[in-house]
Structure 1
Amino acid sequence: MANLDVRIASRYLIETTLSRIATRVRIPVPMRGTTVENIWGRIRMNYRHKALWLCTAAIAMSVPAVVQAQDEAAVAANEAGSDEIIVTAQKREQNLQKVPVSISVLSASALSDNRVNGLEQLSQVSPSIGFTNSANTRGQGLSIRGIGTLNFSDGVEPSVSTVIDGVVIGRSAASFFDFNDIQRIEVLRGPQGTLFGKNSSAGALNVVTEKPSLYDSSLEASASYGTFNDVRLKGTGSLVLDEGRAALRLSGFRSTADGIITNTFNGKKLNNADSWGVRGKFLFEPSDATSIYVIGDYGESNRDCCVSTVRSVLPTTTYYNGQTRAALLSAQHLGPLNREVTIDGEPFNRQKTGGASVEINTELGGQTITSITAYREFRVFDNNDADGVSLPVASVNNARQKQQQFTQELRLTSPSGEPIEYVVGLFYFWQDVVSQTQVKGNLVVNLPAGQYLGNQVDRDITTKNVAAFGQLTAHPTDKLSLIGGFRLTSDQSVAHFNRTILPGALAVMPSLGGPVYMSPTLKATDTDFSYKLGAQYQFSPDIMAYFTYTRGYKGPALNLLNNLTAATVNSGLAVLKPEIAQNWEGGLRTTLFDRMLTLNVTGFYETFTDFQAQTYSAALTSFQLTNAGKLITQGVEVEAILRPVDGLTLTGNLAFTDTEVRGLVLSCYPGQTAAQGCQTGNRQDVSGEALTNAPKWAYSINANYGADIGNNLRGSANLAYTYRSQVFFSYRDPKTIQPGYGLLNGRVSLETQDGRYRVSVFGKNLTNKHFASFIGTGLLDTSATGAGYTQLLTPDAFRTFGVEGAVRF
């Protein structure tokens, strides 16, 4: 009788939800009676109604199916099965299916099977993640649910936080590293400031590396070779120093690959790979109540990158000496497949990253006290030839940057399973960024030989962040949990900016630089209280639903771009307002059919007020910073794992993300007419448009099969397909559209049954689908009627093959 009541209620919930959907999208759906459509047709849905609609739809469409499945399947009583996924999204170890947060977990095997070697490739295995490429790592950016920061200013921090072994990374550029000895990556969607704090208004990537084993010593090594002379070497050793008490783990990697772009000016290969790194860990547990975990790492990347190739040119573009851009690039096969450049400048990106952390955990009266102390340093020296031709128009556009950060986190965590569970803590963050940029060239002036225009910009910014945070979960009944969290944050940033004429230059360089200017000391301070409220209900041991509201926060930003002016500073526009996020989210977590199927569904409605955005003006050939009025992202996320037979695992992930920007006014795109929205002053209001590089549909499907095949051997195969729908890289500009595309990856392995030896053959982008990771206008290649365009390509945009061998002892 109880199940019958649930089904009746569920059917009513579905009909009500379908009525909402029909009204929302204005699709006529036949209904019995007339009241449902009439009632909902009179409702004007504001943003709270939209949030409820999304979350209710996600849960309501799923509850009846899973309840019926529970009736028809014998559910295993043991919840701690071998397929259980453990996460630390709430600062304690928990089963993923019990956590009221939208999470996808990427295991080490999933990353390895798809040859994902860095954060910039995560979008190939996690549909809700986006990546936008740039001429250097300082300008690259990650996004979650379409929201992310793409910015060159030292005074703007990312909206997607990267946390490695409990340590927040302060700069986006320092987050781009080669994956090595990774245990898992937790993709936490939506604002995560309550527990992860700094730079997580859009979400967080919680990267967890492998710990030393206190009981088993081991040694692992692998080597692979692939297309473009892609060579990757990895090694890891874990040594037990005192069984059950002390252990050491060392890992390292070396990665090289030829560039995929040829410079016809000198024959050099560009956009190559050349990096190496080491990480050491020491784990000491002097007693059952105390552990000390010390980590140190260092890595370098020395690449001749990152150059854009030319898709098209404007026939009328002429340089200072009368040569045309079309003539200078006539030997190239321009278009989406162009893998040639003709430049006289030297593109490079030299990067060094390292740091150390100490994590201490100790139990006191049943509580766990955690202290994480960390220092990290990041250095980069990069340059790009911005003009894209073999003339010194703007052949030097470089930056030297040094970032240092110190963090201290102190937490008190209650035992799990109590009527009230809590995590409370204090957090301190200090960061200092010092940089010097130089621009040099003739630009549009025909100067005597040896003379040039140029600017040098020196700047520094010091940031301090202090916060108190906590989250409490009360269990008034065995099934119901109530959630409350908060973060009280104090932010302070102080910066200096000085733009001078480059030593030896004849005069300043307009646009990319500007007149001599030293700003007064720039300051930004703010105090904020962000919070989280929610409820979680455990229908059965294998069915959980939750609903949460979260207010996220990212502190004020400072405009430290090369072209900063006195007018911008004096008007107060050099200080950007804090970024405020609000997220309504509902989810359903299920494990069905005797643990054969795991199905998770999440609905969300998220808004960002005063989003800190960077835009580019082709007419002014300069970047600009502004607060966008409002961003909206709403949609549904689905994750499924199916284990139909022994050895076979099928996984699927779907993200439907509908984004919209409101109150953002920026420069018109080249050639845009009044009929296309270009207004007086060459400005356009892009309200109502989808966010750039934010696909509405993205999904991934993966099949993995393994079985013993005799002669002490085991075979396995993996096949994965990822799809992302069409995006714009620049608002409304049809020349910056990247059509939807899918990538097919495969891997076949043969190994001994004891796991000691393995050989694999792999292929990426097997159908050879070409795509650009960024499309933009060429420098100075613009006019009132249109422009020429450039693109950034990666090796993943081409079919590649390779072989890998591995040993383990």
Structure 2
Amino acid sequence: MKLLGWSAALATGLFSNAGFAQVETANADTASEDRIIVTAQRREQSPQDVGVALNVFSGAELIDQGIDRINGLENASPNLEIENQFGSGQPSFSIRGVGFRDYATNNTPTVGVYVDDVAYPIPVMTQGVLFDVERVEVLRGPQGTLYGRNTTGGAIKIISAQPTDAFAAGLTVEGGRFGRVDAEGYVSGPASNSIRVRLSGATAHGGDWQVNRETGEEIGSAEQYALRGLVAADLAPDVEAIFNLHGFIDQSDGLGLQLFNDSVFGPLAHAGRRETSFGSSTTFANLIGIDEGQHPFRDNEGWGTSLTLNAGLGDVTLTYIGAYEVLNRKEFNDFDALTVGGAGVYFETSADVMSHELRLSGDTGRLNWVGGLYYSKEDLNELYQSDFVASFGPGFAVTTPYNQNARTLAAYIHGDYALTETLSIIAGVRYEDENRALRDLGTFSVGTGPLNFANGTIDGTLENRDLNSDNVSGKIGIELTPADNLLLYANYSRGVKSGGFTAYNTLNPNALTPFQPEKLNAYEAGFKSNLNDALQLNGAIFFYDYKDQQVQSAIFDAGTGAVVGRIVNADSEIWGAELEAVLNPAPWLTIGQSLGYKDGEFTDFDDLDIAATTLAGMEVLIDRSGQDLGFPNWSYQGFATAETAIAEGWIASARFDYSYRDDLALPLLGPAFAVDDYWLANAQVAFGPEDGRWELALWGRNIFNADYDETRNFFITGGAADVAAPGMPVTYGARVSVRY
């Protein structure tokens, strides 16, 4: 969904650590005074005054880049990757190489995602439409002393456009290739002297860009609806309440995988990336209630509500945020891109998250501080079902039910103290206690009797596991401002990511042994500078000491002689740098560039050699110390924008942006599954009046029609079906925006 807003004032926005940021303006007369303000440190600051590596993107910037979901940020921010696992609705977030590839629903991400300060700890919850957004902040590095959740990789903050004091309304309609139509709108204004209201909504339809290579059926269509209502009320002097109620429906097609290597159905491999296939066995189709030729689909809905209270108590501000989020998910994917029922999967998920956060913050001259308490409770019920008929024979349609509960309690405090006018120290600490409980997990083969593979019995007994952990994390650093236009900073921070359970179908109860929380010790130094009115330059270097990194692997069960797939812990190191610049060589021209580099290797990981272990009937290990971690080393983003008056009262603008992702080697899978590097480029021209009342834009995305894959893997062993999640081809279209 294309974010509502006006893309004027392209050359006057602020560049913030690689993200060219803009603020929507009520009229062109105030464009020169536009400023981006971030709340990365729980108070309003310019991005250039924050000693943290971050990007900030306004709603207008996201529109111009065609970013309609959180996943699109990977093409705008250095050292950020967001992959949907096997093309499913389960995303994997990675910042600076700190990520966790897992298509299961039940484990926490390394990157925290917040919407209006409410954490979304279940990754699949983040895949909704971005609409009516004020800004998005991307923070790189461990977080925990300022936010409700604790993360090792970083955080992404989405801030919705807020109710306005004066009446405002807008509507955007966009049409594109493959019959895609998007629309969104908002109405905002005062309901009384003390109450302000904002209603916004979005919808998307069409877009069949893939085709079944056997039947010619087209898939890829969107069918999405989203609504949000915000009410801001002044309850008393210096006391404000914001009530947020939102919901969505997503009945879109899923992604069809591409078959790129196939030793059994050779002529079908290496087809174009728009070609796919799908199919289910009779047993599996009957089990989940679909036709055998059903294409991948989503039938998801969710809603949520939150209440934010801000009260000024003299020099101290009291903030309370209470939230409740619900997701109901039905999703079918075909992980083999064949008609034979080798790896179809179906998720039926019910999840809800309740959270409460209470914090105090203050500014006492030299000291800025914030402290808080956080509590959350997650309840996840899931039925995960798999089609293994082509792999293991008739009847092997497998169902895995389970329930997982998580309770998190944390306390944190963070402050920065100005020792002198040019030198400040920053320190924070966090304590977190967490309980995760896996209940009633079993794996049943529908066609072979009531055998429960979770514990090897036929009595129907289900497995239970618990993981209790408590961790301390924190941060200490310095900031030096030797000149008004220069900030130098150095930080040490420690982040923690929750442990969890390998909640897949399994032949062995040892697969359910919990993996432990991972810890990241991060060392970072950087600078932010405005060298003159025409050049802004920022940079950072970092080194990560990664303990108990969570990795997909396997173990050997000596009791049964079985190889058991399981997430395990390992140690590693990551290092890298980012350099970002924005240049204004002329009043009408802005050029931005960002370059990210990262590399990493295991330092202590005795991994199971699955092939050798299976052959020997005993555990055979591989020392993977020194082996590459498997993520793209280089990322590069850039843009150029131009704006000019073409007649009195009329403005034309143009934008060209591009991004590069380095090749992705996956050493744990082998060279066949390496993903080639690729470039993506977008372009836009726009026209409208200076007052921003309306705009007409023509755009193109992936304009050079690059063929690329997001990721590669396999689900049928022996090379019978190696699959890739393909990226979209060139698209183009037009957008009309009207504002009042």
Please state which band the TM-score falls in when normalised by the shorter chain. Answer: 0.7 to 0.9
Matches within 5 A, 1:469-508: 469-501=412-444, 505-507=447-449
- The match for 1:290 among 239, 246, 263 is 239
Map of 1:690 onto structure 2: 628
Of 369, 378, 382, the match for 1:431: 378
- Residue 36 of structure 1 is matched in structure 2 by none
Give the Cα–Cα distance (whole angstroms) in 2 for the partners of residues 204 and 733 of structure 1: 31
Q: Give the aligned residue type for 1:624.
A: G
Aligned with 2:195 (options 246, 251, 254): 246
2: CA distance, partners of 1:806 / 1:514: 61
Structure 1 residues 480 and 257, CA gap change in structure 2 (3 angstroms): same
Q: Distance in 1 between matches of 2:480 and 2:588?
A: 33
- Aligned residues of 2:676 and 2:709 also touching (Cα < 8 A): no
Partner of residue 591 from structure 1, selected from 508, 530, 543: 530
- Letter aligned with residue 543 of structure 2: Y
Map Cα deviations across residues 679-704 of structure 1 (whole Å, 9 max, x no partner).
Answer: 99676443323323x22111111111
Match of 1:664 among 605, 610, 613: 605
Q: How does 1:385-424 map to 2 (within 5 A)?
A: 385-395=334-344, 397-415=345-363, 418-424=365-371
Shift, 1:188, TM fit: 0.6
Instruction: Give the alignment partner of residue 722 of structure 2, picking from 789, 795, 803.
Output: 789
The match for 1:23 is: none
Structure 2 partner of 1:183: 134
**Structure 1 651/699 Cα, relative in aligned 2: closer, same or farther at 3 Å?**
same
Partner of 2:60: helix, strand, or coil?
A: helix
Say if 1:513 and 1:770 are closer, same or farther in 2 by CA, change over 3 A. farther
1:67-117 Cα deviation digits (max 9, x unpaired): xxxxxxxxxxxxx98354311111111111111111111221221111011
Which residue in the other structure is 1:756 paired with?
A: 693
Q: Secondary structure at the match of 2:585?
A: coil
**Does residue 727 of structure 2 align to residue 807 of structure 1?**
no
- The match for 2:173 is 223
Mapped partners of 2:453, 2:441: distance in 1: 16
Determine if contact 2:343/2:715 at 8 Å carries over to the other structure: no
Cα distance, 1:342 vs structure 2: 5.0
Does the Cα contact within 8 Å between 2:86 and 2:724 map onto a contact in 1?
no
Cα shift readout 1:634-692 (whole Å, capped 9, x = no counterpart): 111122222232232221111111222233344669999x9xxx999676443323323
> What is the TM-score with the length of structure 2 in the denominator?
0.88
Deviations 1:734-758 (A, max 9, x none): 2112222111110000011111111
Q: In structure 1, what is the equivalent of residue 517 of structure 2? A: 578
Aligned to 1:5: none
Do the aligned partners of residues 612 and 521 (structure 1) sit closer, same or farther apart at CA in structure 2, a change above 3 Å counting? same
Change (3 A) 1:386 1:670: farther
**Distance of aligned partners of 1:548 and 1:261 in 2 relative to their CA distance in 1, 3 Å threshold:** same
SS in 2 for 1:194: coil
Distance 1:459 1:96 in 2: 44
Taking the aligned partners of 2:687 and 2:217, their CA distance within structure 1 comes to: 38
Q: Which amino acid aligns with 2:549?
A: F
Shift of 1:631: 2.6
Contact 1:251–1:279 (CA<8 Å) still a contact in 2? Answer: yes
Contact 1:135 1:305 in 2 (8 A): no
* SS at 1:120 equivalent: helix
Asked if structure 1 preserves the Cα contact closer than 8 Å seen for 2:442 and 2:454, the reply is no
What is the aligned counterpart of 1:281 among 210, 217, 230?
Answer: 230
Number of the residue aligned with 1:118: 69
Equivalent position of 1:455 in the other structure: 398
Q: Which residue of 1 aligns with 2:182?
A: 232
Alignment length (residue pairs): 691
Distance 1:495 1:234 in 2: 40
CA distance in 1, matches of 2:63, 2:128: 15
Structure 1 counterpart of 2:499: 556
Contact kept in structure 2, 1:357 and 1:375, CA below 8 Å? yes
TM superposition shift of 1:579: 0.8
The separation in 1 between residues aligned to 2:563 and 2:219, in whole angstroms, is: 25
Deviation at 1:767, TM superposition (A): 1.4
- Unaligned 5+ runs, structure 2: 1-30, 281-291, 556-560
Selected match of 2:262 from 313, 328, 333: 313
| Greater Cα radius of gyration, structure 1 or 2 | 1
Cα distance between partner residues in 2 of 1:365 and 1:137: 50
Q: What CA distance in whole angstroms lies between the structure 1 residues aligned with 2:88 and 2:39?
A: 28
Q: Report the more deviating stretch, 286-295 or 86-95.
A: 286-295
**Which protein is richer in strand relative to its size?**
2
Structure 1 residue 502: Cα displacement: 5.0
Aligned to 1:129: 80
- Whether the aligned pair in 1 keeps the contact of 2:257 and 2:276 (CA below 8 Å) is no
- Deviation readout 1:311-362 (Å, 9 max, x if unpaired): 1211xx4xxxxxxx34xxx4x4624636132534432222222201111101
Matched-pair contact (CA < 8 Å) for 2:88–2:333: no
Letter in structure 2 aligned against 1:794: G
Give SS of 2:448's match.
coil
Aligned mates of 1:511, 1:654 — CA distance in 2? 48
Q: Is the Cα–Cα contact under 8 Å of residues 435 and 458 in structure 1 kept in the other structure? A: yes
Give the secondary-structure state (helix, strand or coil) at the position aligned to 1:521: strand
Q: Would you say 1:156 and 2:93 are equivalent positions?
A: no
Counterpart selection for 2:316 from 347, 352, 367? 367
Amino acid at match of 1:195: L
The question of whether the paired residues in 2 share the 8 Å contact of 1:353 and 1:379 is answered with: yes
Residue 407 to residue 622, structure 1, CA distance change in 2 (3 Å): farther
Q: Aligned equivalents of 2:507 and 2:351: distance in 1? A: 21
2:695 and 2:737 in contact (8 A); partners too: yes
- Partners of 1:209 and 1:577 lie apart in 2 by 35
Matches within 5 A, 1:534-549: 534-549=477-492
What secondary structure sits across from 1:110 in the alignment? helix
What is the match of residue 18 of structure 1?
none
Sort the Cα spacing of 1:121 and 1:621 in 2 relative to 1 into closer, same or farther, 3 A. farther
Give the 5 Å matches for 1:622-771: 624-666=565-607, 684-692=622-630, 694-731=631-668, 733-771=670-708
Instruction: Check the 8 A contact 2:403/2:441 in 1, yes or no.
Output: no
- Give 3-state SS (helix, strand or coil) of 2:251's partner: strand
Q: Contact 2:453–2:507 (CA<8 Å) still a contact in 1?
A: no
- What is the CA–CA distance in structure 2 between the aligned matches of 1:738 and 1:349, rounded to whole Å? 26
* Inter-partner Cα distance in structure 2 for 1:133 and 1:616: 22
Question: 1:479–1:537: 8 Å Cα contact kept in structure 2?
Answer: yes
Q: How has the CA–CA distance of structure 1 residues 669 and 744 changed in structure 2, closer, same or farther, with 3 Å as cutoff?
A: farther
- Report the CA distance between 1:217 and its aligned residue: 1.0
- Asked whether 1:337 is paired with 2:287, we answer no
Q: From the superposition, tell whether residues 186 and 260 of structure 1 become closer, same or farther in structure 2 (CA, over 3 Å).
A: same
- 1:419 Cα deviation from its structure 2 partner: 1.3
Aligned residues of 1:275 and 1:301 also touching (Cα < 8 A): yes
CA distance in 1, matches of 2:277, 2:104: 27
Assess, with a 3 A threshold, how the Cα gap between structure 1 residues 426 and 442 changes in structure 2: closer, same or farther.
Answer: same
Greater shift in the superposed pair: 337-346 or 136-145: 337-346
Moved more, 166-175 or 98-107: 98-107
Aligned ranges 1:42-81 → 2 under 5 Å: none
Q: Secondary structure at the match of 1:644?
A: strand
Letter paired with 1:718: R
Contact kept? 1:686, 1:731, Cα under 8 Å: no
Residue pair 2:85, 2:103 contacting (<8 A) in 1 also: no
1:599 corresponds to which letter in structure 2? L
